[in-house]
Amino acid sequence: MIMAGDFRKGMTVEIDGGVWSIVDFQHVKPGKGAAFVRTRLKNVMTGAVLEKTFSPTDKYPKAQIDTREMQYLYNDGELYYFMDTESYEQLELNFDQVEDAINFIVENQNVTVRFFKGKPFSVSPPNFVELTVVHSEPGVRGDTATSTTKPATLETGYKINVPIFVNEGDKIRVDTRTGEYIERV
């Protein structure tokens, strides 16, 4: 059991039969009255966001989240197929379960899939991935005095801003947490 006064970002707790991830929290001590904890919660199964206040002494069970290393196989238009790297079992997920990660993963890449009570609810790519630029306008020669960027499309279809020296066919490293260009590989 976790007391509301011990809530931290990223924790998962069971509240009213649902599994909630703590997105943000704030301990408030008003001049008059009792202290409370103001939180922003996200339901890990449905994605719904909820703002709720708790007494610091409220207790909730910590949600047991399992993670498995899986390999992204392919997409058939509706479903995304993943394979467990240990048991070789295949798992089909819909777009809602992979939408945060699909911009950064390519076929045969390993990802982390999170489960609650055996049911998958999210896919996380590695923090940094190397992807190929498939479309980008050529940079203007001599325009290097400032840190100018230009739009580029990656092999996954994701659009990103890159420095002007990056060309089509270049491999770049991308931070999947922010979706930003890091460096040319």
Q: What is the pLDDT of residues 51-74, one digit of tens each?
A: 999 999 999 998 888 899 999 999
Whether residues 150 and 178 share a domain: the answer is: yes
Whether residues 119 and 73 share a domain: the answer is: yes
Last residue of a domain, which of 60, 78, 104?
A: 60
Last residue of a domain, which of 60, 82, 105?
A: 60
Return the ∠ at Cα 47 (arms to 110 and 8), rounded to 5°. Answer: 85
Whether residues 17 and 48 share a domain: the answer is: yes
CATH number of the domain where residue 25 is located: 2.30.30.30
- Alpha-carbon dihedral sign for residues 86, 178, 80, 45: positive
Whether residues 56 and 69 share a domain: the answer is: no
User: Which has the closest alpha carbon to 51: 23, 27, 30?
Assistant: 23
Q: Name the E strands within the chain.
A: 2-3, 12-15, 18-28, 36-43, 49-54, 59-60, 65-75, 80-84, 90-93, 110-116, 119-124, 128-136, 149-154, 159-163, 171-175, 180-184
Range of the domain at 72: 65-124
Whether residues 77 and 108 share a domain: the answer is: yes
Whether residues 99 and 114 share a domain: the answer is: yes
pLDDT of res. 74: 92
CA-CA distance, 152 to 154, in Å (whole number)? Answer: 7
Whether residues 23 and 53 share a domain: the answer is: yes
For the chain, the domain total comes to 3
CA-CA distance, 73 to 167, in Å (whole number)? Answer: 28
Helical (H) or strand (E) element with 164: none
CATH number of the domain where residue 80 is located: 2.40.50.140
Whether residues 55 and 95 share a domain: the answer is: no
Whether residues 54 and 73 share a domain: the answer is: no
Mean pLDDT of 27-36: 89
pLDDT in tens, 83-108: 999 999 999 998 888 888 899 999 99
Whether residues 39 and 78 share a domain: the answer is: no
φ and ψ of 103, to 5 deg: -70, -15
Whether residues 9 and 49 share a domain: the answer is: yes
**Cβ–Cβ contacts within 10 Å for residue 149, how many?**
14
Contact at 8 Å (CB) between 122 and 100?
Answer: yes
Mean pLDDT of 156-180: 91
Residue 168 has pLDDT above 70, yes or no: yes
Residue 45 has pLDDT above 70, yes or no: yes
Whether residues 56 and 79 share a domain: the answer is: no
Q: Which residues pair with 71 in a beta bridge?
A: 83, 110
This prediction has a pTM of 0.75
pLDDT of res. 142: 62
CA-CA distance, 7 to 179, in Å (whole number)? Answer: 27
